Amino acid sequence: MSLIPTLAETISRARADLRMGLPVALGDQLAAAVETLTPARLADLRALGRPVLALTGRRAETLKARAYDGTLARVILRPEADLAWLRALADPAGDLRTPMKGPLATERGGDVTAHRAALALAKSAQLLPAMLVVAAPAPEGLTRLAPGPALAQLATEAAMHPVAAARLPLMSAERSRLHVFRPDDGGEEHYAIEIGDPPRDAPVLARLHSACFTGDVLGSLKCDCGPQLQAALAAMGQAGAGVLLYLNQEGRGIGLANKMRAYDLQNQGFDTVEANHRLGFEDDERDFRIGAALLRRLGFGAVRLMTNNPRKVAMMQAHGIAVPDRVPLIVPRNPHNAGYLDTKAGKSGHLL
Ligand SMILES: Nc1nc2c(ncn2[C@@H]2O[C@H](COP(=O)(O)OP(=O)(O)OP(=O)(O)O)[C@@H](O)[C@H]2O)c(=O)[nH]1
Ligand SMILES: [Zn+2]
């Protein structure tokens, strides 16, 4: 029956629920995001059973909590644990000011599929990956998911559909078209800027640009995104042909709010990679299959990829796009981005 939501559609609802502060049912567990939880909902969840706080292994490492499940830790709540305590475990902003939150006891053994699904959902909703999970039947009206299939679906590539396209003359290239793509799972829209009329049977000059509101729009000096965006468009304009994908994966996939949390940690002395880890994220949470899918949808099978990031090259190749050529995209350093560029070169393997 086509009017019943599909698994992908139900996941989209679950994302929206978590962002609103509503718990979702994952099999026989209820899961709520600590970031959006209210005192009333915390009290009601506690009344249903014995909740644990699911954290990523990254966050657990900073908190010195044992992650018995590898990339996941389940912190046991003490009787006096309140929302402020949970928030302090979820959000590293106050780690240096109030370092002693523990010692934290963590659970071992048992099935953690629901906890893993809960953390994957939090990340895909661009919330802090800290989820309160309690074994309890779902009250009427909550979104329900089977945790195993939900996890598998989250790892599945959403089909991207072209929605609209129009001519858009740019300063760097007058003959340009902007295409808008929409995934079938209610996720973010992404854009392709096609410059000139690149032939489909030859490698196209291409850039996979990840959204950076601060760099692209505001001209932030902290990163190299704005100048890279302009330089890529200028090079394509000069060459007379190219394709720039503008992927809405702000902050390497963690979203602008979490990126600002990461910047706050960077102001406390951590580098860009450490900041992501302290928040509970991997250094790069982007899904590069989207870029490959868009290139394919536009008819391109081979690219001359403008990037300094060898991972992007490897990801394109792994997802069926040939990369016969890598074109470096070096932009000027300034006192604010020097540390960031050094970390990308030193820790993330960028060729700068
Ligand atoms: N989490 C996080 N994201 C950042 C930070 N600085 C910039 N970004 C994001 O990083 C992304 C920029 O990466 P890109 O320039 O597309 O790619 P790259 O991996 O640096 O590789 P290149 O192709 O060589 O530029 C954007 O989504 C930015 O919002 C940071 O300190 N923390
Ligand atoms: Zn940036």
pLDDT in single tens digits along all 352 residues of the chain: 899 999 999 999 999 999 999 999 999 999 999 999 999 999 999 999 999 999 999 999 999 999 998 899 999 999 889 999 999 999 999 888 876 677 899 999 999 999 999 999 999 999 999 999 999 999 999 999 999 999 999 988 889 999 999 999 999 999 999 999 999 888 999 999 999 999 999 999 999 999 999 999 999 999 999 999 999 999 999 999 999 999 999 999 999 999 999 999 999 999 999 999 999 999 999 999 999 999 999 999 999 999 999 999 999 999 999 999 999 998 888 898 988 888 888 888 888 7
For ligand 1, say whether the CB of 312 is within 6 Å of any of its atoms.
yes
Does residue 97 carry a catalytic annotation?
no
The residue whose CB lies within 8 Å of the most ligand 1 atoms, and thus the one to mutate among 225, 307, 330, is: 225
φ, ψ for residue 282 (rounded to 5)? -75, 165
Neighbours of 9 (CB within 10 A): 13
Residue of 224, 286, 287, 289 marked active site = 286
Mode of pairing for the β-strands spanning 322-327 and 190-195: unpaired
Say how far apart CA 64 and CA 53 lie, in whole Å.
14
Does residue 175 carry a catalytic annotation?
no
Q: Dihedral sign, CA of 276, 279, 282, 285? A: negative
Say how far apart CA 190 and CA 290 lie, in whole Å.
9
**Beta strand ranges found along the chain (DSSP E):** 24-26, 29-33, 52-56, 72-76, 130-135, 144-145, 160-167, 176-183, 190-195, 204-210, 242-247, 302-306, 322-327
Buried b (16+ CB within 10 A) or exposed e, 234-268: ebbbeeebbbbbbbebbbbbbbeebbebbbebbee
- What is the model's pLDDT at position 100? 65
**43 known member of a binding site:** no
The residue whose CB lies within 8 Å of the most ligand 1 atoms, and thus the one to mutate among 123, 222, 223, is: 223
Say how far apart CA 301 and CA 297 lie, in whole Å.
10
Going by the DSSP 8-state scheme, the letter that residue 171 receives in this structure is S
**223 known member of a binding site:** yes
- CA–centroid distance, 335 to ligand 1, in Å, is 18
CA distance readout (Å), 235 to 6, 174, 298, 328, 336: 43, 13, 20, 11, 25
Q: Of 46, 31, 7, which is closest to residue 142 (Cα–Cα)?
A: 31
Say how far apart CA 235 and CA 326 lie, in whole Å.
14
Cα-Cα-Cα-Cα torsion 173, 178, 318, 231, nearest 10 degrees, comes to 30
Task: Report the nearest-CA residue for atom 11 of ligand 1.
Answer: 252
Say how far apart CA 281 and CA 262 lie, in whole Å.
10
User: What residue ranges do the domains of the chain occupy?
Assistant: 7-154, 160-249+286-347
Q: Quick check: 275 and 265 in contact, CB under 8 A?
A: yes
For ligand 1, say whether the CB of 307 is within 6 Å of any of its atoms.
yes
Task: Report the nearest-CA residue for atom 6 of ligand 1.
Answer: 223
CATH assignment, 7-154? 3.90.870.10
For ligand 1, say whether the CB of 308 is within 6 Å of any of its atoms.
yes
- What is the model's pLDDT at position 99? 67
For ligand 1, say whether the CB of 22 is within 6 Å of any of its atoms.
no
φ, ψ for residue 336 (rounded to 5)? -85, -30
CATH number 3.40.50.10990 given to 160-249+286-347:
yes
Mode of pairing for the β-strands spanning 130-135 and 72-76: unpaired
Provide the angle, in degrees to the nearest 10, between the axes of the packed helices 7-20 and 147-154. Answer: 100
Amino acid at 301: G
Residue 155: partners with Cβ closer than 8 Å, 6 or more residues away: none
Ligand that lies nearest to the alpha carbon of residue 344, given by its number in the listed order: 1
Say how far apart CA 180 and CA 193 lie, in whole Å.
9
Q: Dihedral sign, CA of 13, 16, 22, 26? A: positive
Residue 11: partners with Cβ closer than 8 Å, 6 or more residues away: 121, 124, 145, 150, 153, 154, 185
- What is the model's pLDDT at position 340? 86
- Residues measured by CB to lie within 5 Å of ligand 2, the ion: 212, 215, 223, 225
For ligand 1, say whether the CB of 261 is within 6 Å of any of its atoms.
no
Say how far apart CA 342 and CA 323 lie, in whole Å.
26
For ligand 1, say whether the CB of 337 is within 6 Å of any of its atoms.
no
Peptide linkage before 147 cis (omega within 30 of 0): no
**212 known member of a binding site:** yes
**Ligand 1 atom at minimum distance from 311 CA:** 19
Q: What is the ipTM of this complex?
A: 0.97
